[in-house]
Amino acid sequence: MRYLVPVGFLVFALILVAVPLTASNEYALRLFMLFLIYGMIAVGLNALVGLTGLVSLGQAGLFALGSYAGAILATRLGFDIVACCIGAAIVSGACGVLLAYPTVRVKGVYLAVVTIAFGIIVENVAIEWQSLTGGTTGLSSIPRPNVFGIKLSGYAFYAVLAVTLFILTLLIHNLKVSRYGRAMLAVSQSETASRALGINPTAMRTLAFVVASVTAGIAGTFYAFLNSYISPDIFTFSDSVRFLLMVILGGAGSTFGPVVGAYILTYLPEYLQQFQLWQKFAYGALLLLVMFVLPRGVLGTLRLAFDRLRPPEPVPDVAEGLPVETTLRHDKEITAELVANALTVRFGGLSALSNVSLRVKGGEIHALIGPNGAGKSTFVNTISGFYQPDEGRCEIDGVELTGRRSLEIARLGLARTFQNTELFGELSVLENVMAGYDQRLSYGLVHALLRTPRMLREESECRRVAIGLLSFVGLSQYANDAARFLPFGLQRRLEIARALAGRPRLLLLDEPAAGLTTQEIDDLEAMVRQIAGLGISVLLIEHHVDLIMALADTVTVLDYGQVIASDKPAAIQNDPRVIEAYFGTSLERAEAAETAA
């Protein structure tokens, strides 16, 4: 299986070499060159659509920006094609950053509308700024492409396009299999969990937009040199739709899917010319049929069929993993202490927390209990940065947490699970845990794109740590399964393993025993004891009283958003305020009612 992608790149290279040798005429070669340009746009857009799950319908605008930037630099400043591509990439990349900003607030169809508006703005600027763009007349007399003053013939220009598409495909494949691609996929499936792991969703979306924008800008420059003429009516909204269809039709998220989609949608109109007036109808009907039969795209569906036919991929050898005793253990001197002081959180006129103070000592298991609606999850969400308190403050080892974002708090050593599991369902069990390791990786974007020895070394260690953690939680045999297929009890274990991957000093477990069987609760108890034994402080929010009394060093009880008791488990069991909070009556009345019954 691991040889499939290298073989794919070899076949791709052979095809690119063979095409000019088999082209029957200049038109056939030009059409293939047009496919190469569209392929660049689709490959870049795949980083946005296939990895982050965002939809952009403004690629024609970015394509136009690259074309105009390249054409203006070539005609007015005499730049060669390399300098024009760099200039176009800078202009388009800057616009990509601007396009990424709305993703902080809007997503889905609203984001698509924003990108449509961007395309309309670019078109109108191209029409109205006549002194620069030529207005509706456009820009003509674009010189023949040259590199450092050397004119490129038709075949030489083809070679430049082919090499560029091959390199872009390879670079974006490298991005996909790196920490950045894993983080993008994580953000697309659960932004909440991503933030809890220290992943910055805004940064990942911005990177995806920049990649899609830069590739569109470079492709636009190549198009200007190929066509020798550009005008606003060349870049239309229908082109944006076509570029998006290339990604979806070929297989969003796959390495070669966008290239296949670009080939199909470049050549399909040529094959349908025989239908004359019915050409567009046949084009649309054929696309609908293909999308209905192949919902994952051409390569996505083929990959699915291949996975069903081939033998299951062997699970990683447990011996390959690093033991948690070496990857997670903290010295007793650096165990984390959490202090919350007078926290108050209001939602409108409702006080979910009121003057809550709590201290989790370094290395202890501290339980937080209370009836439903007492404010337990609100407290966890507040100290982990998902909510901001109206009053009060909290800190970990003297470092202020109040006002920090959840991803910043995660990087300070505070990890958490969720009351309702927040797994990355499309990722494998092993990839989920590797995503949790992200904050411990230090290699940058250049290392990821070039797959440097440093990147390979850190990714190897990440994988080994993840395998060790799966062994620790008893999920080794499920390493290659998609996380969404795990039984509920195993999903709870996976979430704990993923939280531990960042090597936290304080672990927040939000109702980890909810929905578990008796045996699974016993296993959970043993696991939490082991985690605490590694020097990791644990704050446990739970309803299972037996589990709390067996595990906790200290128990704090919340009721109606207030702390009503905080003591050793034995003392809490007999506290009349706790009994009244749970049973709605005092201990004496409860015993009297039981005697009368």
pLDDT of 587: 46
- Mean pLDDT (whole number) for 80-93: 95
Residue 582 has pLDDT above 80, yes or no: no
567 CB-contact burial (10 Å; exposed 0-12 / middle 13-18 / buried 19+): middle
**146-181 confidence digits (pLDDT tens):** 898 888 888 899 999 999 999 999 999 999 999 999
Residue 460 is encoded by which pair of tokens? 């190897």
Nearest one of 190, 199, 202, 176 to 459, comparing CA atoms: 176
The helix/strand/coil state of 146 is strand
The helix/strand/coil state of 344 is strand
* Phi-psi sector, 456: left (phi>0), alpha (psi -120 to 50), beta: alpha
Task: Report how far residue 558's alpha carbon sits from residue 461's, in angstroms, rounded to the nearest whole number.
Answer: 41
Residue 226 is encoded by which pair of tokens? 């190929």
Task: Report how far residue 256's alpha carbon sits from residue 299's, in angstroms, rounded to the nearest whole number.
Answer: 8
Residue 592 has pLDDT above 60, yes or no: no
> Could you tell me if 48 and 200 are in contact, meaning their C-beta atoms sit under 8 angstroms apart?
no
pLDDT of 593: 45
Nearest one of 327, 323, 328 to 535, comparing CA atoms: 328
CA 186 distance to own-chain centroid: 4
Nearest one of 295, 303, 281 to 4, comparing CA atoms: 303
> Could you tell me if 99 and 115 are in contact, meaning their C-beta atoms sit under 8 angstroms apart?
yes
Task: Report how far residue 501's alpha carbon sits from residue 385's, in angstroms, rounded to the nearest whole number.
Answer: 19
pLDDT of 101: 86
What contacts 308, CB < 8 A, 6 or more positions away?
A: none
- Mean pLDDT (whole number) for 378-403: 93
Helices 26-46 and 257-271: crossing angle, nearest 10°?
140
The helix/strand/coil state of 513 is coil
Neighbours of 226 (CB within 10 A): 18
Task: Report how far residue 322's alpha carbon sits from residue 37's, in angstroms, rounded to the nearest whole number.
Answer: 46
As a residue count, the chain comes to 597
Please state the φ and ψ torsions of residue 395, each to the nearest 5 degrees: -150, 155
**322-354 confidence digits (pLDDT tens):** 999 999 887 666 678 999 999 999 998 889 999
Task: Report how far residue 595's alpha carbon sits from residue 523's, in angstroms, rounded to the nearest whole number.
Answer: 36
> Could you tell me if 261 and 42 are in contact, meaning their C-beta atoms sit under 8 angstroms apart?
yes
**Residues facing 139 on adjacent strands:** 230
> Could you tell me if 362 and 536 are in contact, meaning their C-beta atoms sit under 8 angstroms apart?
no
Task: Report how far residue 172's alpha carbon sits from residue 181's, in angstroms, rounded to the nearest whole number.
Answer: 9
Nearest one of 403, 413, 374 to 508, comparing CA atoms: 413
Nearest one of 453, 450, 456, 460 to 174, comparing CA atoms: 450
Lowest mean pLDDT segment, chosen from 280-284, 418-422, 451-455, 462-466: 280-284
What letter represents residue 204's amino acid?
M
Lowest mean pLDDT segment, chosen from 6-10, 216-220, 469-473, 512-516: 512-516
pLDDT of 597: 43
Share of the chain above pLDDT 70, in %: 96
**483-519 confidence digits (pLDDT tens):** 999 999 999 999 999 999 999 999 999 999 988 889 9
- Show me where the domains of the chain are located: 18-236, 326-596
Residue 309 has pLDDT above 90, yes or no: no
Residue 594 has pLDDT above 50, yes or no: no
Residue 591 has pLDDT above 60, yes or no: no
Residue 363 is encoded by which pair of tokens? 């290395």
Task: Report how far residue 35's alpha carbon sits from residue 58's, in angstroms, rounded to the nearest whole number.
Answer: 19
pLDDT of 536: 93
- Average pLDDT of the chain is 90
Confidence of residue 284 (pLDDT cuts 50, 70, 90): confident
pLDDT of 596: 47
> Could you tell me if 392 and 179 are in contact, meaning their C-beta atoms sit under 8 angstroms apart?
no
Residue 24 has pLDDT above 90, yes or no: no
pLDDT of 583: 62
What letter represents residue 208's amino acid?
A
**Residues facing 544 on adjacent strands:** none
pLDDT of 373: 86
Long-range CB pairs of 518-521 (<8 Å, 24+ gap) are 520/489, 520/492, 521/547
- Strands, DSSP E only, in 349-402? 350-360, 365-369, 391-396, 399-400
Confidence of residue 554 (pLDDT cuts 50, 70, 90): very high
**104-114 confidence digits (pLDDT tens):** 777 888 888 99
Cα radius of gyration rounded to whole Å, the chain: 29
- Strands, DSSP E only, in 482-573? 506-510, 537-541, 554-559, 562-567
Confidence of residue 590 (pLDDT cuts 50, 70, 90): very low
Among the four given CATH numbers 3.30.750.24, 3.40.50.150, 3.40.50.300, 3.20.20.140, the one describing domain 326-596? 3.40.50.300
